[in-house]
Amino acid sequence: MYNTIVIGGGPAGMMAAIWAAKSNKQVVLLEKNDILGKKLYITGKGRCNITNDSDVENHLNQLTGNRKFMYSSFYSFDSFRAVEFFHDLGLATKVERGQRVFPSSDHSSDVIKAFMKGLEDTGVSVHLNENVTELIIEGKTVIGVKTNRGEYKCNHVIIATGGKSYSMTGSTGDGYKFAKQLGHKIVNPIQGLVPMETVDKDILELQGLSLRNVKLSLFVDPNSNKPVYSVLGEMLFTHFGITGPLVLSASSYIPRDIGFDKLRIEIDLKPGLTEAKLDKRLLRDFDKYINKALKNALIDILPGSMIPIIIKRSGLEPYTPVNQISKEQRLKIIGNLKSFTLHISGLRRFNEAIITRGGIDVKDIDPHTMESKNIHNLFFVGEVLDLDALTGGYNLQIAYSTAYLAGMTINEKE
């Protein structure tokens, strides 16, 4: 007989278990993998962007929806408390560009070691290779779980099973199944923070090219020039389309019910220059390379692999001498530099998505406790909920904050 059973050994599950066990309550953490934090190992390319060193308002602004739901969680356990939590467990951290917090060692395994120390210090019992198959409900109250090894009785259950992204780490949507059986609404899970596939064949020549300090704008209405997302940053061309921080974040702003044929992305390759200033810059370069062909006169302003594509999209010939380029032709080049357009054909699959958009409808969850409104003593935390944010450590903070609230709610009960 346990006070609390936590299902799922990811960051939300470990955090929830630690706080639920703070006052010597009997807590067991059930994980179906043979290790804890399997997804954390690969987070941030193995470095693990723990959180973002910024205030609650910034974290709320990075959410793509359900902001009001996160007020209690974020204000109860913000990113500064999260960093303090890890420091208390012996994990040294550092802050990098964009206020992203990483372990000083650059090893995600050290984050997991810190969590494991927290579990040990609070006496949480950890069961690996144990898969929960069913919740035991009596009336409208959860009283235990069934697993591949047997049956456990308890006073509380916390579900921290994650979403559907990176299924090889164990995120296979188990929590949705449990919730749906108990009458919870599930907002259809789709890929979030995921690379995009493009229609445009000419960019296949750009595979491996990384662009920095460009502005990416996402348009979801073919008849509108107002983007739903527009930010400066980095991106990368691939064999299937585009990826990188700008692209991943933009993917979370694609409406779930829209046809991909309506989407377009415009990349401003020179966001620091107005069209007029860019024209002056081109004229200087053309004067510098006055006896060169056009394809050799753009080397100071563009990566080499992009030059043929920009020239072709501008309807020009690469061997035209620059001293024969008219103002009208120059403006065509400028138009493509300021608005390099891509057409989206789809998103990459769940196994390439960093997070899941959608999940358990938060209308069914008490935002002050993370307890189900349908079933007493049942809590949901982390990515299993319909909560997601942009890149930068914000999604892990959602996991910590919701887990803390659930754990402390249980901890403070008599």
The C-alpha atoms of residue 58 and residue 88 are separated, in whole angstroms, by: 25
- pLDDT tens per residue across span 199-250: 999 999 999 999 999 999 999 998 889 999 999 999 999 999 999 999 999 9
The predicted pLDDT at position 164 comes to 84
Closest CA relative to residue 10, chosen from 358, 408, 399, 361: 399
φ, ψ for residue 302 (rounded to 5)?
-140, 150
Contact 101, 394 (CB under 8 A): no
Contact 369, 409 (CB under 8 A): yes
Residues whose CB is less than 8 angstroms from the CB of residue 381 and which lie 6 or more positions away in sequence, other chains included: 12, 13, 15, 16, 158, 159, 160, 370, 399, 402, 403, 405, 406
pTM: 0.91
Does residue 269 register a pLDDT over 80?
A: yes
SS3 state of residue 380: strand
φ, ψ for residue 23 (rounded to 5)?
-105, 40
| Complete domains list, the chain, with CATH | 2-187+359-411 (3.50.50.60), 195-347 (1.10.8.50)
**412 or 363: which leads in pLDDT:** 363
Does residue 263 register a pLDDT over 80?
A: yes
What mean pLDDT is predicted for residues 320-344? 96
